[in-house]
Structure 1
Amino acid sequence: MKFFIDTADLDEIKEAKGWGVLAGVTTNPSLYMKVGGKLADFEDHMVKIAHLCDGLPVSAESTAKSAEDMIVEGRHLSSLAPNIVVKLPICAESLAATRRLSEEGVRINMTLVFSAPQALLAANAGARYISPFVGRFDDIGEDGIDELSTVIQCIENYSWDKNVDHEVEIITASVRTPNHVTQAALLGADIATVPFGALKKCLAHPLTQQGLERFEADWEKVKGA
């Protein structure tokens, strides 16, 4: 399973990339707002992320409402850098836009997916990536991992179908915990897009820290002998 980082923060992207594990970046309007983003600087910021990622896929989300406007904005966003993927929220308008854009070679990340039927529609429309959300199910007392399992199985069952003649990858989104990452990997999700805070939690374990402290203490004894 590949790791994307879910952020618009350049410093977080640089640090995660420095770990040698980063396979892509996803952004959205909320993440851009969190870093103090301004409308006038949005495109420049996406280009900075794209260049920083050295060809790795970077999802930039369209805020257009109609299919035609999504097509226009999608073409423009994808022209900013060759590794920019256009992110669209699942709806009737975005399905129509995805069909047109995918036929033109524009990669689409269909986001805000919460059901298998939505995922299947996105795949058939031509989406390159499909982003089912996990954590938001947990927020309302439902099992996000169970829903993710259903999406993965449905896409895998029909990925060979003549109507889905392109590669489709499942991006596990709305990841909150290392357990979300573990369960997504066990289910065979292609990608987990993880906020930097959750990514750091994946790296940490109390027994690892305990072991390091013991090794350091023992080495100090060796040095003093």
Structure 2
Amino acid sequence: MPNLLEQLKQHSTVVADTGDLDAIRRFAPRDATTNPSLILKAVRSGQYDALLEEILNAARDHNGTLDEAVDEACDRLVVAMGGLILDHVPGRVSTEVNARLSFDTEGSITKARRLVALYEEAGIGRERILIKLASTWEGIRAAEVLEREGIQCNLTLIFNFAQARACAEAGAFLISPFVGRILDWHRKADPDTRYAPEEEPGVQSVRAIYHYFRRLEYPTVVMGASFRNSGEILALAGCDRLTISPALLEELTSSEGRVAPVLNDSRERDTRPAPLTEAAFRWQLNEDAMATEKLAEGIRGFEADQLKLESLLHDRLAADKA
């Protein structure tokens, strides 16, 4: 009998939630997704030492300030790493815009265009990349502009239905609702409650979003993310895509059983409502304590790791100038 991962791939597109090339080669996902935390972990692993040195050598010739050289090196590093990942997956890689731009629509658009230009400079077409943006109102508006330019986006850090709905209404290519982080919040709020995987709040959230998108015929892809256990993953079999960490990919590979699709298109159709206004979006997010807290926490966490990566590059470049 095929293992659980092989069976899961028959119902959902599997995406590797890692920058670890060995894991990507081993589990053969369709796509891969990265974020500042995963990029930092990959750089620290030593897998990319040669690439890092190449990027630093180019940055040393930069004519601007040290901070400008660091920013340029960061952009070139994440794009070069994305290019290496694309050598091992047939589909796409997601590359994230700096979290500090999460509330800056124009800044996000400018950075996204820069990342795409660097990919194209490396001979990689935009059809193989997704630009990741936080699902703030400003991030969603940036995605709306980028999608019209043919730059497809992955809207991440989704914890709330209003976020998902606004992304679909903006024409986002893909959204990443975070399953495990929703569970983390509920466990902290009520430590005594135990959930079966299919009853977990994060699983229920993704199911509701998926069925809403299908009923209203939004083409936006739903990709469950941030899993804490394999039960959550199997409870979402049939979801468009599932991005999974190497540890859980390993668990699925070494496990046997039967995987049946849980999510499917019922073919029921509803009429789309008028798009959410900014005021309605902000109010619905404000009314959801879990989503408000986890979105802010996620942005801060990604920015913290972005700063660590920048500090690493800054120290290397500063040492050369000393």
Distance 1:191 1:26 in 2: 11
Match in the other structure for 1:169: 221
Distance 1:204 1:180 in 2: 17
Match in the other structure for 1:93: 138
TM-score by length of 1: 0.80
Structure 1: 4+ residue segments shifted above 4 A? none
Superposition pairs for residues 117-136 of structure 1, below 5 Å? Answer: 117-136=162-181
* Match for residue 46 of structure 1 among 67, 73, 82: 82
TM-score by length of 2: 0.57
After superposition, the C-alpha distances for 1:107-144 in whole angstroms (9 at most, x for unaligned) are 10000011111101001112100111100111122621
Report the secondary structure of 2:228's partner residue: coil
Amino acid in structure 2 at the alignment position of 1:26: T
After superposition, the C-alpha distances for 1:185-214 in whole angstroms (9 at most, x for unaligned) are 1xx41111000110111122378xxxxxxx
Distance 2:139 2:95 in 1: 14
In structure 2, runs of 5+ residues without a counterpart are 1-11, 45-51, 53-73, 188-200, 258-322
Amino acid in structure 1 at the alignment position of 2:21: L
Distance 2:116 2:215 in 1: 30
Q: Does 1:57 align with 2:92?
A: yes
Report the secondary structure of 2:227's partner residue: coil
Distance 2:210 2:79 in 1: 33
Bigger RCO of structures 1 and 2 (CA < 8 A, at least 6 apart): 2
After superposition, the C-alpha distances for 1:154-173 in whole angstroms (9 at most, x for unaligned) are 212222xxxx5xx3110000
Q: Does 1:197 align with 2:247?
A: yes
The structure that is strand-richer by fraction is 1
Q: Does 1:8 align with 2:19?
A: yes
Query: How much does 1:93 deviate?
Result: 1.2
Amino acid in structure 2 at the alignment position of 1:148: V
Match in the other structure for 2:36: 29
More moved, 27-36 vs 44-53:
44-53
Match in the other structure for 2:56: none
Q: Percent identity?
A: 29
Please give the root-mean-square deviation of Cα atoms over the aligned residues, in Å.
Answer: 1.8
Distance 1:206 1:97 in 2: 43
Query: How much does 1:31 deviate?
Result: 0.6
Query: How much does 1:53 deviate?
Result: 2.1
Query: How much does 1:8 deviate?
Result: 1.1
Amino acid in structure 2 at the alignment position of 1:85: L
Task: Verify the 8 A CA contact 2:79 2:95 in the aligned structure 1.
Answer: no
After superposition, the C-alpha distances for 1:62-96 in whole angstroms (9 at most, x for unaligned) are 11511111111212223302211101110121111
Superposition pairs for residues 145-224 of structure 1, below 5 Å? Answer: 145-159=203-217, 164=218, 167-185=219-237, 188-205=238-255
Distance 1:42 1:33 in 2: 10
